[in-house]
Structure 1
Amino acid sequence: MADFEPIVGRYITVDIAGEKHRLFVEEAGQGIPLLCLHTAGNDSRQFRHVMNDKELTDRFRVVAFDMPYHGRSTPPDKWWLKKPRLTTALYMQIIRAVWTALGLDRPIVMGCSMGGAIVLKVAADYQNEIRGIVGLESSAYAPGRYNEFLHHPAIHGGELCASYTYGLNAPTSPEQNRRENWWYYSQSGPGVYQGDVHFYSNDWDAREDIKTIDTTRCKVALLTGEFDYSCTPAMTEQVAASIKGSRYTMMKGMGHFPMIENYPDFRPYLIGALDHVAA
């Protein structure tokens, strides 16, 4: 008998900014929709442990997708010669298009890093349409990450991005898991990571938006790793202080990629956050 995992992957065509996009979507489970957003320059494989967790998939329909240019998704025909440049407005259109196309009814939206940032804007703009958010490594403002060496003809972009992000894992996380995330990053297309960091570091500022989130309508759980020096615990504490009724937890022994770098230790934090948001 083949030892298949419960994850099912398919392609879906969605309209984003007036263009048809062929995006890769994978999911497992049933119940409350849980839409997962990957980190900059990576793809939905980062959530494979969540989608293989039967206790969670018995309660949640876990859905993750690869952004345009990322992983197994491709840009539309008219985008091939465009330099990847993600913006807040485009990011919001992508997320909205996917959950609408999939018919997700009042989902919980969970994202990490740049995904953990944009879920704050999702909560601010769509708090009447979602149950809530789980922000992993969430910052409302993170300048200073962008640089031209992230996409440079004299530098191997895949190895640079993979090795730079490797350092954002906790030193105590298992080596094989840190290397797995490194491998996913090494496969990123030219300029994709830089284009995402353009959003995260140059375009992103939700410090005023998050003050409008009403946690009686849209619950907010925030989880940040103790060793994260990209989105530090202090940065997420500032977010929590601006959202009355939000729940913030610093994750001991965790870095910037909790769902892939050390899932067993991350799992109790995740279950607590989902219990809070889904209640």
Structure 2
Amino acid sequence: MRNAISNSILGRTAAAGALLLGAAFAGQAAMACTLNNWSANSGAVAAGDPQANSIARYAGLCGMEATGAGYVQDNNPGGIDRIVARFYVLADNSATANVYQGFGDTAGGSQRFDVSVDASGNITLTDTLTGQSVSQAGVSGNWNSVEIDWAQGAGNGVISLSVNGQAAVENTTLSNVGTQLQSVRLGNINGAAGTLGFDAYESRRSTAVGRVCNCNANGSADDSVNVQDVIVLVNEAGGAALSTGTPDCNEDGNINIQDIVQTVNIAGTTGACLL
């Protein structure tokens, strides 16, 4: 993981015959959702967009879905002692799922940490060398932002977890020196029952990532919520072009009238995205 890099969950590449994304993209090259930004993928994990195959997405035009045991893997950590990572998970699992793990090699050995989501939406970060863990409540059936900070040290190792923007819970006194972090995996790693969606993955070596600006359907750089977002959202809910921002205002995995109502309310009051 390079310092302060946004490692998108999905690559988008021009593809002949791929799905056209509606009127707003008329005349542009057709685009396909891929997993090409990752070092490898395995099992029942796929990229896509809702117009092509009903795969939910949180930010941008693509999402990733795990319908059984499956994951994507990034080998870019390459030997580091700390990682800060943020991702969104659509937690529609009926058993505890291991969704994000770090390893001391690229073959899935020497596990360093684990993030799990149980059937009630509770999320736990565990340092697997010491067995110490921290947990916070998420929302079952909804998109949840998960941000972790894991570091190894002799008495000053760290595990820190923030779910949906809550104040982080942490343990900063671990003695967890071991093999350096070489790779990470994201997905339904243990094949838990249910379907899991993933989006907006970003990792860094030190600084916090934070949540994506929600309800900003048109993806404007100023992160404001206004009538332009309402127009884009209405169009998408009606089956037109996909919005490029974050249209799932209530984070339930669907784009519909409930998102429009909530976006209108924000646009008419504070105009500030939900963080």
More strand by proportion, 1 or 2? 2
TM bucket normalised to smaller = under 0.3
Larger Rg: 2
TM-score of the superposed pair, with normalisation by structure 2: 0.25
TM-score of the superposed pair, with normalisation by structure 1: 0.25
More helix by proportion, 1 or 2? 1
